[in-house]
Amino acid sequence: MSLSSARSAEPAAVTAALRALLAAFSRAWQERRYSDLATWLAPDMVFLLPGGNGSIGGRDAVIDSYREFMERISLTSYREAPPNIDVWGQPRSPRHAGR
């Protein structure tokens, strides 16, 4: 199910679509497929940094931050907490935390 068709679906279907999107997004950055990230990010998005330590504005800057992060580190282990998704009204927005 695409997110556009999920807008009129039941909350469980929307939650499933958002979980699938987050999993695909996570695979893309971990596999260094940075151009794929643009598929899911709006040009004018704002990415809030963990712990409320600022933000990054714009799709290109956000993608660059993933690229820079992956170039600096050697990712040997990564675990994500299950996403916490609340569905009500518009817009629908997932919250997600990596460890």
Task: Please report the domains of the chain, with CATH numbers, ordered by start residue.
Answer: 3-72 (3.10.450.50)
Alpha helices, DSSP H, located in the chain: 3-6, 11-30, 34-37, 59-72
pTM of the model: 0.72
Which ranges of the chain have pLDDT less than 50? 91-92
Q: How far apart are CA 64 and CA 99, in angstroms?
A: 20
The CA-atom distances, in angstroms, between 7 and each of 12, 17, 77, 83, 86 are 11, 10, 34, 19, 13
Q: What is the pLDDT of residue 63?
A: 97
CA-based R_g, the chain, Å: 14
Q: What is the pLDDT of residue 72?
A: 94
Q: What is the pLDDT of residue 5?
A: 57
